[in-house]
Chain A
Amino acid sequence: AQSVTQPDIHITVSEGASLELRCNYSYGATPYLFWYVQSPGQGLQLLLKYFSGDTLVQGIKGFEAEFKRSQSSFNLRKPSVHWSDAAEYFCAVGISNFGNEKLTFGTGTRLTIIP
């Protein structure tokens, strides 16, 4: 069965600094990979996704992520964070079998931004 590990429970970053959130997955084949963001009291918003092709994917709000098969990783990056980026970030792996898809989520990383 697939699994996702987000090793950092909580990260604090200064506004304007760069950010990298780690995500490692376990799955026997090439997975579909996602990053979602959840602001306090809100639902989940898709930041970006990887299905195939270019291993560096661009998302919304200036985020990007790089799929590294050799490391089973899909780390999320942003060159300069803004106070509005404070939120919970979830990495997820999906398996699609046409109608039998489910997402397995990591435990999330809470991002705090300090002025």
Chain B
Amino acid sequence: DTAVSQTPKYLVTQMGNDKSIKCEQNLGHDTMYWYKQDSKKFLKIMFSYNNKELIINETVPNRFSPKSPDKAHLNLHINSLELGDSAVYFCASSSRDGEETQYFGPGTRLLVL
């Protein structure tokens, strides 16, 4: 009965590689998000999608490309990984019911070597 799930949980890769992180929610929400948590635990929004449409893009390098095949999925593809991309990436979802509470996934810990 997982609400927001992410795969993989851990990702270790070399600089220059391309990788993807997947997110799925079974809450019936229509808005999904990607957040980045840096080494100092600071959380910052990267993207949000509503009904598969990009709504928020917070000045993220274009090496990061979100893709939403349907309302329940929001994937994050990262090209040409850099050391500074090492972080924990959280997916979240919410619904437009007047109380847009965001529910978070468990996070994907990315380490770029």
Number of contacting residues on B, CB 8 A? 29
Q: Is the beta-carbon distance between B103 and A46 smaller than 8 angstroms?
A: yes
Q: Which residues of A contact B101 (CB under 8 A)?
A: 34, 46, 49
- Is A105 in the interface zone, CB < 8 Å from B? yes
Smallest Cβ distance from B7 to chain A, in angstroms?
Answer: 13
Q: Which residues of B contact A94 (CB under 8 A)?
A: 100, 102
Q: Is the beta-carbon distance between A101 and B44 smaller than 8 angstroms?
A: no
Residue in A36, A88, A100 whose CB lies within 8 Å of B104: A36
Q: Which residues of B contact A45 (CB under 8 A)?
A: 104
What sequence of 0s and 1s flags, for each residue 13-45 of chain B, a beta carbon within 8 Å of any chain A beta carbon?
000000000000000000101010000111111
Number of contacting residues on A, CB 8 A? 25
Residue in A36, A51, A99, A104 whose CB lies within 8 Å of B31: A99
Within 8 A of B (CB), among A28-44: 32, 34, 36, 38, 42-44
Within 8 A of A (CB), among B96-113: 96, 98-107
Instruction: Give 4 closest A-B pairs by Cβ, nearest first.
Output: A99-B50, A43-B106, A44-B104, A105-B43
A–B pairs, 17, beta carbons within 8 Å? A32-B99, A42-B106, A43-B106, A44-B92, A51-B98, A88-B41, A98-B96, A99-B31, A100-B55, A100-B56, A102-B58, A103-B35, A103-B45, A105-B42, A105-B44, A107-B40, A107-B42
